[in-house]
């Protein structure tokens, strides 16, 4: 079986393992207070053009989301998210477990816009008995979104302006950030995030690291005592050095962008193959996740050689599925897939 | 500086890094459902002589404690711990953050005994208004304890019997379990844990792993839906393979015990040096943590070359400190320390 | 101003105040362990034809919902509710504050049906990565619903059967239960609730009591330790006698049903007036809440003399509003309202 | 049986019931937004000499404690309390259920002092790994204390100054405040509380009300959004008028102080009887709770006619018990008790 169901099927980028090996016998303090972490923080701040941010390294995405949100909201406050947002549906209620409601907005192409969020805010504040409802007090988005789409700089700027108007934080989940940055359609850069967001994080796990997410706190208001929250949520790795080493490696010499580009190239090859074969897509994604809609025969045949995710059952025995590439995707695997896709669509395609 | 302040100052055991390297390009499913994890589970079950246990791999200790406790207790229930227990004082209120009180018992030599726990239970249940108090419903201990001491098999058996009498679980935190198993004074083996405890975990982070704790659920009553809890608490590593690889490596060919023994040997050399120099100890520890009591001069001089933990300020400007060895401790570092200890105690010792 | 915006605008039924006065100097134990409570429990059990239920008296509805739900669910579990359910939108995230997600289903006429709930359950359990999502583990409904509609015995029986099939509890919020029981369209009786639900409660606050809800636990599985949960959620009234006295009064000589009938009669008079005037309704409610849709002129004129709730803004400057009657509604107030409604609809009505 | 086990054995002060009766048919808005509440707020502000405070009416003490503490603390923060504090032991872990640890200090005569609290604060902040521990961020005391003793104005001023030095709130639980104010030994007045505390509450339940506590928020920093928290914790009474009516009645014409004085007089008579009979006391209480130490014979005989609370078993078959008086205590009941105490101590006393 060749795996395309996620971007964490392989290990870590070889340079990361090498860096770990090379420094393995050095002694360092624990809990992220070592020199590797310090260096990684500086490199990330530089890459974001913002040396005032606080940068913290956490182990995983659910942890990063939970820790950031719980550290900021008061008990009666809620976070606003797309209904397809990761925190809304795929973290086993981790946000609710810290006491907060996730107020969901129907996503359009995976995204929410400033107009929708403004409605949530004005509906709340214009209701005379608003204290009977959770208070929307934070906006959560992800870049790329769960469905591979991208916020444009303009969309992000509008969301940011709205949040500032209401005095609430904008939090951006960048678990797959590399694949946004490397997309030809992207116009949002790291420096933009470090200006427009209050908090965001740079995903490692899905972009070549063994594990790890770099949480960047831009707005000073949310910096205080953040390490307590990391510890409380089980995210303070004893051997924190391994997080520092990974992010130092990823952000030195442009490795992060370079390996993300590779993933995008392979994803575009897959997209093209399906498109040329006449396949429709559930979402028009310019990043490393592709969502072709397969009929029963094509699905069945592809499933014999490849793993991919079933995303949504559609009428007429059609299924929207997800193919994912990563830094580690082998071009020869994509070659094989493309050949099969072409052949199968020729034989069983709807066109 | 030579570091003796903890057992996580170095990286991971070289064999672990090698195993990671060797398997790095293989594709696996995520979230611990890969073959490496499956294999590691089997090896651990075999080592415990119990093939009915569920074994789950989590990232860290605070996470393991929180996930286990929160998955078992109902909202009105509390966990009983030594006042020096890790959950009572060193996890930033992670247990309370899940809604549960930690009922503390003054530790004797780091341990709590069945008689003390029985008093907590009978006090609660004999009070006619017991519903006004949190219900003690779980016992938490660690082996070795926070202060390096060991429960004997008899002590553990008594606690276990008491818990069964009351129908409440006994949960053992084995973050440093290797250093208990390797201690010459130990008479509690893994098979004992897999019989006497309801849940326990085998620490990787402090015993040679990069990170990772293997939670073993012995009592079927507590097995249901545990993976939901791991996910909710941010402990479900996307690239779960890295946990499987580590535990498979540690438990193949007795590596876990072998490297723990090394740590104990070095710790005993340090203990002997302090003892011979006439130094007193805060606790009489037969494991990898040693707690000598230093006077001001000795403390100051040692602090110039070595890092160690300040444990407790005592009258007369004396300080109880902690020296910790690990699988990675270099004998030549211990040689240097011993020499300095001897010299300094000769010069400034209280004897 | 004449108030029709809620069913708690007046004090308590006079017989309740009299009973309180009469027994005021008697000494009783606290926290619901007095004879008044004991008696009220027996009367309620008898009225439900189920002497095995546990009956607990709590102060208010949000408290009752929170206490019941939090006492039953494990941390990874969620409660399923209509999106218009009280717990979903009008309790300031009280359920989430105890750690649980409220999974919402679009309501049809205020209700959810067994087919919709079955879909939620099968979707969850058929997903191979279900542990990444909150587990639906309880069904919450209210009778009457938030919009005044009623579950029929058949609908309730289907929901109950489904819950039993999946082994999850059915919880019915009866904050306005009297107004269901007294409705001419109702075919669900207290004995049905005590058979089909696992837990339900009988509302006092909105049906003539000063305050108070009687939680009835039918399924023994959920009885254990419930008093701890009441205390933890601040619902254990020190002078619990006042709850016992109220429910004893309400359930003696059929007072509860009698005063509810009065409310329904007045509500039907209002409904008729609007209907005859050609007004449409947002929901077709057979209980004490009526939801006529008013145009701008009628709204403005009525608002000068009466209070009522704005429910939903509709296109064309029309507004769905809510008029509520209660045990205390004065027929002469309704006379005045009817006269005004007739006059205004004649003048400004859409017909 | 004559009851002396608590101060909530009888109903409510007759003037409260009368006021409820008299206003019963008036229509008011719900949730504390009525004129009775508004008036009660003004009267309380005047009584405290502080018209800038926010005053909110909640139903009970556990609810008041939980709501205040949860509304103020961030998730990593803890509240400091005497180990005998109500929140530490008698609220079924309600504070922990909102996620916060209660850091306890051994009480001296029921009280904690500024020196003890300072040690907790400096210990925390001087520890270089303080983020591994819950952060002490609020001080909770009660007046009178759980054991009937009183903070002097000087003690309170010291605690207040310390809290301001550290920028953390001082929260005073006045569930029995009337009995402090009425004690001849008291030198802390309501105006002092409204200056020295950040938040405090005036107890109704135990001082003549049917139920109710008036939470006074002095420090503006903690005022924002408090009504959300009341709602979330189930404390927002639908018929909020009943809280307003009660506090208006209690604080008009000095009723609160007057009925508290009665309780103190009766308590002092009891105290005197035990003292004269040679009885020792567990605490020297100048308020309505008295803690005589009884030998087995005296205990057994008194228990035949009176209810009282067993407080602590002492060596030599002696038991510290609690006798409580209230606004409702009948002098003739105290006469009977005194006579019995005298007779029994004569016969079986230790002197």
Backbone phi, then psi, for C287, in 5-degree steps?
Answer: -125, -160
Contacts of C227 in chain B (CB under 8 A): 131
List, for residues C66-92, the tens digit of each pLDDT value.
999 999 999 999 999 999 999 998 899
Q: What is the mean pLDDT of chain B?
A: 97
What is the per-residue pLDDT for A88? 95
Q: What would be the CATH architecture of the domain defined by B2-6+258-348? A: Alpha-Beta Complex (3.90)
CA distance D106 to chain C (A): 24
Beta-carbon separation of B75 and C70 below 8 A: yes
List, for residues C236-252, the tens digit of each pLDDT value.
999 999 999 999 999 99
Instruction: Select the residue of C14, C231, C239 nearest D205 (Cβ to Cβ).
Output: C239
Q: What are the start-end ranges of the H helices in chain A?
A: 14-22, 35-48, 61-72, 86-89, 94-97, 114-126, 153-166, 177-181, 190-196, 226-232, 241-251, 255-276, 296-302, 331-348
Closest by Cα among B178, B154, B150, B207 to B16: B207
Beta-carbon separation of A31 and D99 below 8 A: no
Give percent above pLDDT 90 in chain D: 97
Closest by Cα among D42, D8, D101 to D251: D42
β-pair partners for B174: B202
CA distance A161 to chain C (A): 27
Q: Give B89's pLDDT tier (boundaries 50, 70, 90).
A: confident
List, for residues B97-146, the tens digit of each pLDDT value.
999 999 999 998 999 999 999 999 999 999 989 999 999 999 999 999 99
Calculate mean pLDDT across residues A232-248: 97
Beta-carbon separation of D100 and B101 below 8 A: no
The CA-CA-CA angle for residues B300, B304, B307, to 5°, reads 95
Instruction: Select the residue of A70, A76, A227 nearest D75 (Cβ to Cβ).
Output: A70
Instruction: Select the residue of B21, B234, B239 nearest A235 (Cβ to Cβ).
Output: B234
Q: What is the mean pLDDT of chain C?
A: 97
B205 and B7 Cβ atoms separated by less than 8 Å: no
Q: B99 and chain D: CB distance < 8 Å anywhere?
A: yes
C240 and C214 Cβ atoms separated by less than 8 Å: no
What is the per-residue pLDDT for C350? 75
A130 and A124 Cβ atoms separated by less than 8 Å: yes
Beta-carbon separation of B90 and D134 below 8 A: no
List, for residues B279-336, the tens digit of each pLDDT value.
999 999 999 999 999 999 999 999 999 999 999 999 999 999 999 999 999 999 999 9
Contacts of D229 in chain A (CB under 8 A): 75-76
> Closest-CA residue in chain B for C227?
B131
For the domain bounded by D2-6+259-348, which CATH number is listed? Answer: 3.90.1150.10
pLDDT(B349) > 90:
no
What is the per-residue pLDDT for B250? 98
Q: B94 and chain D: CB distance < 8 Å anywhere?
A: no
Cα gap A130→D137, rounded to integer Å: 29
What is the per-residue pLDDT for C159? 98
Instruction: Please give the model's pTM, rounded to 2 decimal places.
Output: 0.96
CATH, domain B14-255, list 3.40.50.720, 3.20.20.70, 3.40.50.10490, 3.40.640.10: 3.40.640.10
Beta-carbon separation of C131 and A92 below 8 A: yes
Beta-carbon separation of A60 and B11 below 8 A: no
Q: B74 and chain D: CB distance < 8 Å anywhere?
A: no
What is the per-residue pLDDT for A211? 98
Backbone phi, then psi, for D86, in 5-degree steps?
Answer: -60, -40
Q: What is the mean pLDDT of chain D?
A: 97
pLDDT(A89) > 90:
no
Q: D78 and chain B: CB distance < 8 Å anywhere?
A: yes
Which of C228, C230, C233 should one mutate to test binding to chain B, selecting the residue with the greatest count of B CBs within 10 A?
A: C228
Backbone phi, then psi, for D69, in 5-degree steps?
Answer: -65, -45
SS3 content of chain C, % helix, strand, coil (to 5): 45, 20, 40
Cα gap D335→D319, rounded to integer Å: 23
C250 and C209 Cβ atoms separated by less than 8 Å: yes
Q: Give D89's pLDDT tier (boundaries 50, 70, 90).
A: confident
Which residues fall within 8 angstroms of residue D327, CB to CB, at 6 or more apart? D7, D13, D178, D207, D208, D259, D260, D262, D263
Instruction: Select the residue of B31, B75, B132 nearest C229 (Cβ to Cβ).
Output: B75
Closest by Cα among B59, B134, B70 to B98: B70
Beta-carbon separation of D99 and B100 below 8 A: no
Q: B60 and chain A: CB distance < 8 Å anywhere?
A: yes
SS3 content of chain A, % helix, strand, coil (to 5): 45, 20, 40
What is the per-residue pLDDT for C89? 87
Closest by Cα among B221, B321, B342 to B6: B321
List, for residues B31-54, the tens digit of each pLDDT value.
999 999 999 999 999 999 999 999
List, for residues B157-177, the tens digit of each pLDDT value.
999 999 999 999 999 999 999
Q: A27 and chain C: CB distance < 8 Å anywhere?
A: no
CA distance B74 to chain C (A): 7
List, for residues D161-204, the tens digit of each pLDDT value.
999 999 999 999 999 999 999 999 999 999 999 999 999 999 99
Beta-carbon separation of B97 and D99 below 8 A: yes
List, for residues A90-135, the tens digit of each pLDDT value.
899 999 999 999 999 999 899 999 999 999 999 999 998 999 999 9
CA distance C226 to chain B (A): 9
Instruction: Select the residue of D71, D76, D129 nearest A75 (Cβ to Cβ).
Output: D71
Closest by Cα among C101, C235, C146 to D233: C235
List, for residues B224-257, the tens digit of each pLDDT value.
999 999 999 999 999 999 999 999 999 999 999 9
Instruction: Select the residue of A6, A28, A234 nearest B66 (Cβ to Cβ).
Output: A234
C258 and C252 Cβ atoms separated by less than 8 Å: no
Domain boundary assignment for chain B: 2-6+258-348, 14-255
Tell me the residues of chain D between 121 and 150 that have a Cβ less than 8 Å away from chain B: 131-134
Backbone phi, then psi, for B215, in 5-degree steps?
Answer: -85, 125
Which residues fall within 8 angstroms of residue A304, CB to CB, at 6 or more apart? none
CA distance C191 to chain A (A): 33
β-pair partners for C87: none
Which of C65, C69, C92 should one mutate to test binding to chain D, selecting the residue with the greatest count of D CBs within 10 A?
A: C92
Contacts of D31 in chain A (CB under 8 A): 129
Q: What is the mean pLDDT of chain A?
A: 97
Task: pLDDT tens for chain C, 351 residues: list them.
Answer: 999 999 999 999 999 999 999 999 999 999 999 999 999 999 999 999 999 999 999 999 999 999 999 999 999 999 999 999 999 988 999 999 999 999 999 998 999 999 999 999 999 999 989 999 999 999 999 999 999 999 999 999 999 999 999 999 999 999 999 999 999 999 999 999 999 999 999 999 999 999 999 999 999 999 999 999 999 999 999 999 999 999 999 999 999 999 999 999 999 999 999 999 999 999 999 999 999 999 999 999 999 999 999 999 999 999 999 999 999 999 999 999 999 999 999 999 876
């Amino acid at each position: 079986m060749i795996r395309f169901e996620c971007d964490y099927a392989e290990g870590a980028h070889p340079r990361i393992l090498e860096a770990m090996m090379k420094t393995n016998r050095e002694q360092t303090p624990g809990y992220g207070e070592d020199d590797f972490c310090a260096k990684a923080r500086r490199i990330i701040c530089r890459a974001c053009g913002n040396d005032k941010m606080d940068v913290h390294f956490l182990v995983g995405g659910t942890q990063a989301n939970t820790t950031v949100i719980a550290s900021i909201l008061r008990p009666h406050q809620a976070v606003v998210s797309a209904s397809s947002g990761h925190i809304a549906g795929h973290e086993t209620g981790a946000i609710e477990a810290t006491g907060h409601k996730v107020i969901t907005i129907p996503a359009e192409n995976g995204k929410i816009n400033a107009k929708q969020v403004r409605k949530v805010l004005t509906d709340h504040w214009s209701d005379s008995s608003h204290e009977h409802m959770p208070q929307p007090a934070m906006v959560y988005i992800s870049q790329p979104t769960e469905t591979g789409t991208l916020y444009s700089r303009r969309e992000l700027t509008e969301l940011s302006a709205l949040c500032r108007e209401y005095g609430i934080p904008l939090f951006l989940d960048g678990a797959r950030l590399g694949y946004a940055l490397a997309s030809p359609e992207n116009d949002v850069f790291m420096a933009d995030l470090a200006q427009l967001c209050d908090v965001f994080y740079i995903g490692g796990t899905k972009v070549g690291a063994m594990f790890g997410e770099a949480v960047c706190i831009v707005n000073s208001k949310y910096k205080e005592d953040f390490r307590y929250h990391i510890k409380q949520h089980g995210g303070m790795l004893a051997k924190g050095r391994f997080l520092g080493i990974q992010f130092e490696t990823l952000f030195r010499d442009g490795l992060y962008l370079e390996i993300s580009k590779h993933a995008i190239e392979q994803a575009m090859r897959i997209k093209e193959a399906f498109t040329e074969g006449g396949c429709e897509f559930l979402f028009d994604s310019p990043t490393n996740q592709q969502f072709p809609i397969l009929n029963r025969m094509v699905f069945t045949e592809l499933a014999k050689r490849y793993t991919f995710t079933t995303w949504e059952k559609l009428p007429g025995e059609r299924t929207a599925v997800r193919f994912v590439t990563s830094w580690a995707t082998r071009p020869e695997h994509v070659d094989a897939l493309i050949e099969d896709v072409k052949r199968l669509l020729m034989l069983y395609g709807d066109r």
